[in-house]
Amino acid sequence: MTKIVVANRGEIAIRVMKTAKKMGIKTVAVFSTIDRNASHVKFADEAVWIGESPSNQSYLLGNKIIEVAKSLGADAIHPGYGFLSENAAFAEEAEKNNIIFIGPKSKAIHIMGSKLAAKEAVKAYDIPMVPGYDQAITDVSKAKEIASQIGFPILIKASAGGGGKGMRVVENETEFESQMNRAISEATSAFGDGSVFIEKYVASPRHIEIQVMADAHGTILYLFERECSIQRRHQKVVEEAPSDVLTPELRKKMGEAAVLVAKSCDYLGAGTVEFLLDENHNFYFLEMNTRLQVEHPVTELITGLDLVEMQILVAQGEKLQVKQEELQIKGHALELRVYAEDPLNDFLPSVGNLKVYQLPEGEGIRVDNGFEQGMDVPIYYDPMLAKLITYGKNRSEAIQLMIHAIKNYKVKGVQTTLPFGRFVCEHEAFQSGNFDTHFVKKYFNAEIIKSNESEEAQIAAMVALKQYLEDQKIVRLPIQ
């Protein structure tokens, strides 16, 4: 492999390019009109404009990206995450054109792209699943009958989707019909498929995911777990590895279950198997993400592995060089997704110009970043600016380092989730490890962030005033 087209933008495009360059592989960036001067464009060896700013006119144009790869003699395409990363048709088209898709085969993407097809695939392996009705349904009256049989509360989920879209928790029968109609409408709008399914709602779950890596020679490894329970609107914001609640026995059991899930669809490359863990530490299969995850850096830090390098090597047909028994967890890692969102205004996107944008530095601090000072945050894409990752010898050290790093991450011009990340890290429930996916609903209070910001502003003003007064002092010379 000598040249890779990175079919993405922002921090993940740069992340992939860094490893490719380390391996002596040239990189090609693709960019939309608004991204002409973006960081990933400057970082690549070559860059090609592929369309106007909206993603459906640029980053989602799979055929155009394949034409770019062919015209520049690229051997492979790395899709990053989002956009075309879990598009089976794109992977298949790349394969037809003799271009390596750095990811699983299209068959695995297709199977795991549907939550119902995924559940069907893993049934033969006796993987525990949340009780429910594992068939697509759009008939509201029939669905209500099924929900009553399962017992409230229940969860309505879009079959074709993810990211919390088309998902509704229904507490009782009276609100079922309206919630069902909303879920169908949202699923149709987001995925072009309004089919949903129904399962029992697990009241106080932890969201635990297992990183897997598979080669074409029959080896599938599990690279331990990530704790992803700090979420807003069913989207992860803070992730860590390892999880504070898993025993070595449970870790092994969940890891081996994840390997079986990967085996069920003849998986290749990096993937993530997601589980719910209830308050009694029973785990249930949720879905498989057939790509590199946003939160992969925390796994890299605790294992010492480069997941992108492993992706590239197995895509070239090489065998994995590490054995399961050789893998060990070392230290603890924490990741905060730094979104251009306003946590004081229901996490609504915040667009604007990055008048100040200074990254924290120091031992144990890693920033996977896609922006520079002076750049505009565009309205067309996911609002994530960067990922702030800290690593310590234990969980407490990683948390304290994260608080320190957040304080030294300077952003002016847009609102970000940095204050929310600090709120999480300083909260007793998070520090004690006693939390679940309802953390934001239970504990988040925008007034605390406002109070902290006001207090810090007052301290900064006092320091500035003191400095000003000292600068204005008149030095009186003694009379000779």
Instruction: Give me the DSSP letters along 395-432.
Output: HHHHHHHHHHHHHT-EEESS--SHHHHHHHHH-HHHHH
Q: Which of 383, 297, 371, 303 is nearest to 340 (CA)?
A: 383
Residue of 291, 337, 366, 395 marked catalytic: 291
Name which of 111, 405, 401, 71 is nearest 264 in CA terms.
111
- SS3 track for 270-299: EEEEEEEECCCCCEEEEEEECCCCCCHHHH
By 3-state DSSP, what share of the chain in percent is helix, strand and coil, each rounded to 5? 40, 25, 35
Task: Compute the distance between CA of residue 158 and CA of residue 282 in angstroms, rounded to an integer.
Answer: 24
- Of how many residues is the chain composed? 480
Residue 106: which residues within 8 A CB-CB, separation 6 or more?
88, 89, 91, 92, 95
CA 166 to CA 193: how far, in whole Å? Answer: 10
Residue 249 neighbours by CB under 8 Å, 6+ apart: none
> Tokens 């088209």 sit at which residue?
93
* 452 Rama sector, left if φ>0, alpha if ψ -120 to 50, beta otherwise: alpha
Q: Catalytic: 291?
A: yes
Task: State the virtual CA torsion across 249, 253, 259, 262 in degrees, nearest 10.
Answer: -140
φ, ψ for residue 331 (rounded to 5)? 75, -165
- Say which residues have a Cβ less than 8 Å from residue 228's Cβ, sequence separation at least 6: 207, 208, 209, 236, 239, 274, 295
Amino acid at 136: A
Whether residue 173 contacts residue 141, with contact meaning beta carbons closer than 8 Å, is answered with no
Strands 206-214, 196-200: parallel, antiparallel or unpaired by DSSP? unpaired
Q: Which residues are catalytic?
A: 291
